[in-house]
Structure 1
Amino acid sequence: MNEPIFLQSVFQERIWGGTKLSDLFGYAIPSEHTGECWAISAHPNGQSVVKDGPYQGMALGQLWASHPELFHSESPVFPLLIKLLDASDDLSVQVHPDDVYAGEHEQGELGKTECWYIVDAEPGASIIYGHEASSKEELARMIQDGQWDALLTRIPVKPGDFFYVPSGTIHALGRGIVVLETQQSSDTTYRVYDYDRRDKDGNLRELHLEKAIDVSTVPQAYEPIAYETQTREGITITSFVSNAFFTVEKWDVSGRAQLAARERYTLVSVIAGAGSLRIQGGEYTLRKGDHLILPAGFGSFELDGELTLITSHE
């Protein structure tokens, strides 16, 4: 199949969500507390659906299972999940398990290594990334004593920043931030601290301290990220991270750029601008907020316009 697969997103309401997914991307969101756009997802908790073309109306998980020739992957499940998150309030401080722990404790769910591209950030916005405890015992004690300011490492952020968040990293988005998140296809989160917030029924939200302490990396390990950038006619490609879970790049298109095919599929999210994608026999409009898959064997193609894309693949 030599045409892109455009997807319809799924929206998730969250206690910390807002309206920026509508304000910035023009999405029709379900409420004023919309926290997540599951843009490219085959996870059972929210599956993207093909917008048009020969597979119109098909859920991504069904497409993955019934048309493996579109992906050329050895993974038994669609391995990635692409989200846009609107943190209009602070997210809970949390940590995610790796594949082994999740497989044993979460009914075979994948672990959750993820990364964030900061799309938008209000002045003074920050994230929590890592902690200061030197042992599991100290981590448990500082959590028990509520020593959050001493325990948690806070980092200021601005639009265009990128953060790699391996499983085991204690983390949280702060208020006033919109991110594009590339992650393993998992919905397992262990909450460490939630600011004593209550849900719509007035109950304190559940924490998962035993599991969180189990899976947290102690002492905190910070992996250096060395970006690689290449510029050629019409495009600058920034390679953020490439590992066993995913490869994530930013494509800044200005004018006309020719790109070669990949053997496997590529996931594409348009986070700024507008333009077009051209292949032999077809042209497709690209707008901010579009999410699509370039299937395996897609062939060479041309991008034209003023566009910023975040792309990923296995």
Structure 2
Amino acid sequence: MTEALFLKPVFQEKIWGGNKLHTVFGFDLPSDRIGENWVISAHPHGASTIENGKFKGERLDDLWKNHPELFGSNCESVFPLLTKILDAKDDLSIQVHPNDAYAKEHEGELGKTECWYIIDAEIGAEIIYNHYARTKQELMEMIRTDNWSELLRRVPVKKGDFFYVPSGTIHAIGKGTLVLETQQSSDTTYRVYDYDRTDGNGRKRQLHKKQSVDVTTVPGLTPKLEIKTDNYGDSSIVTYLSNRFFNVYEWNIKGALKMVKKDAPFVLVTVVEGSGELVIEETVYPLQMGTSCILPVGIEDWLVKGNLKIIASEPGYH
């Protein structure tokens, strides 16, 4: 029987991080400034480790390379997706990510298109989402003169919101938000502005103004989402996105829901609320907040039981 692949996460300390990954999710953190939890990752800057079964102890990047049968016949050269949970105790830098072509030429990796599910948000929390510059020249001038109030578009956020952030979109997650991020497997970030703050050694973080102007989409585009909800008794499946990068879903389980894999060879799963069980044939796996796993090739259907909310994703190349 094919097993679900449960994963040990990788924690990333950040200048803007906090400790909600412990207080909310119960993770044992190495410090109280953990900004990112890479819960499903095969990226060389932080690869997850398999925690169960036949492949226990193996890194996901090695599994992708050595056991392609688990992931389907259309495997790309690198594992295509990366799932994170972010705790923004403070504001993230104003930033932008390149597309595949620019990232391949300048960074040697994938571009970074991403999306955010807001797990929780404090009252008054907001994000930076896009900009108001009409031309590249205007964008450069606003950045040069630190005219952030006129350049940046601020958007209030609340628990349950969803945002699609294509490459080329100027953005920043604001303080007081807890976010599940689904993205291409890339760690390339170009900082436009970082509030002149310094790290523990009194140094400012590097900015990438030229690269930022190079890759920013001007004028800014706000994609229109076609969110669809399918109800199954008291449970539901919300489809947030379906494109060439990824398909992203929210599974709301109240009781039990039998699910069947569709076209994608494998599915990424992270519990963001509640608890329950994942049942595959005769095997029962406990699920709690923060649990992440991959349902590889060979698992065609499964049952989810309990009272919980899951963000699931699939590669979009099928």
> Scaled by the length of structure 1, what TM-score is found?
0.98
1:27-38 counterparts in 2 under 5 A? 27-38=27-38
Task: Answer whether contact 1:234 1:257 (CA < 8 A) is retained.
Answer: no
1:312 counterpart letter in structure 2: S
Distance 2:313 2:151 in 1: 33
Task: Answer whether contact 1:257 1:303 (CA < 8 A) is retained.
Answer: yes
Match of residue 215 from structure 2: 215
Q: How far does the alpha carbon of each residue in 1:87-131 deviate from its partner, in whole angstroms, 9 at most, with x for none?
A: 00000000000000000001x210000000000100000000000
Q: List runs of 5+ in structure 1 lacking aligned partners.
A: none
Secondary structure at the counterpart of residue 268 of structure 1: strand
Residue 30 of structure 1: how far off its partner (Å): 1.1
Q: How far does the alpha carbon of each residue in 1:145-189 deviate from its partner, in whole angstroms, 9 at most, with x for none?
A: 110011000000000000000000000011000100000000000
1:154 counterpart letter in structure 2: R
2:230 counterpart letter in structure 1: Q
Match of residue 305 from structure 2: 304
Secondary structure at the counterpart of residue 69 of structure 1: helix
Match of residue 85 from structure 2: 84
Residue 234 of structure 1: how far off its partner (Å): 4.8
Match of residue 19 from structure 2: 19
Secondary structure at the counterpart of residue 62 of structure 1: helix
Secondary structure at the counterpart of residue 150 of structure 2: helix
Match of residue 271 from structure 2: 270
2:18 counterpart letter in structure 1: G
1:1-314 counterparts in 2 under 5 A? 1-72=1-72, 73-106=74-107, 108-262=108-262, 264-314=265-315
Task: Answer whether contact 2:96 2:168 (CA < 8 A) is retained.
Answer: yes
Distance 1:166 1:158 in 2: 21
Distance 1:92 1:279 in 2: 42
Residue 233 of structure 1: how far off its partner (Å): 3.4
Distance 1:234 1:304 in 2: 12
Secondary structure at the counterpart of residue 47 of structure 1: coil
Secondary structure at the counterpart of residue 24 of structure 2: helix
Distance 2:166 2:120 in 1: 22
263-272 or 158-167: which moved more? Answer: 263-272
Task: Answer whether contact 2:68 2:75 (CA < 8 A) is retained.
Answer: no
1:70 counterpart letter in structure 2: L
Distance 1:257 1:50 in 2: 26
2:194 counterpart letter in structure 1: D
> Scaled by the length of structure 2, what TM-score is found?
0.97
260-269 or 10-19: which moved more? Answer: 260-269
1:212 counterpart letter in structure 2: S
1:233 counterpart letter in structure 2: G
Task: Answer whether contact 1:233 1:256 (CA < 8 A) is retained.
Answer: no
Secondary structure at the counterpart of residue 105 of structure 2: helix
Task: Answer whether contact 1:261 1:297 (CA < 8 A) is retained.
Answer: no
2:96 counterpart letter in structure 1: V
Secondary structure at the counterpart of residue 64 of structure 2: helix
Residue 201 of structure 1: how far off its partner (Å): 1.5
Task: Answer whether contact 2:241 2:247 (CA < 8 A) is retained.
Answer: yes
**RMSD between superposed Cα atoms in Å:** 0.9
270-279 or 177-186: which moved more? Answer: 270-279
1:166 counterpart letter in structure 2: P
Distance 1:29-1:242 versus aligned 2 partners, 3 A rule: same
Distance 1:222 1:287 in 2: 34
1:151 counterpart letter in structure 2: L
Distance 2:241 2:216 in 1: 21
Residue 261 of structure 1: how far off its partner (Å): 2.8
Identity level (%)? 53
1:211 counterpart letter in structure 2: Q
Residue 74 of structure 1: how far off its partner (Å): 2.6
Distance 2:135 2:301 in 1: 51
Distance 1:117 1:277 in 2: 22
Distance 1:299 1:169 in 2: 36
2:304 counterpart letter in structure 1: L
Secondary structure at the counterpart of residue 42 of structure 1: coil
Residue 286 of structure 1: how far off its partner (Å): 0.8
Runs of at least 4 residues of structure 1 off by over 3 A?
none
Distance 1:59 1:198 in 2: 34
Distance 1:17 1:235 in 2: 34
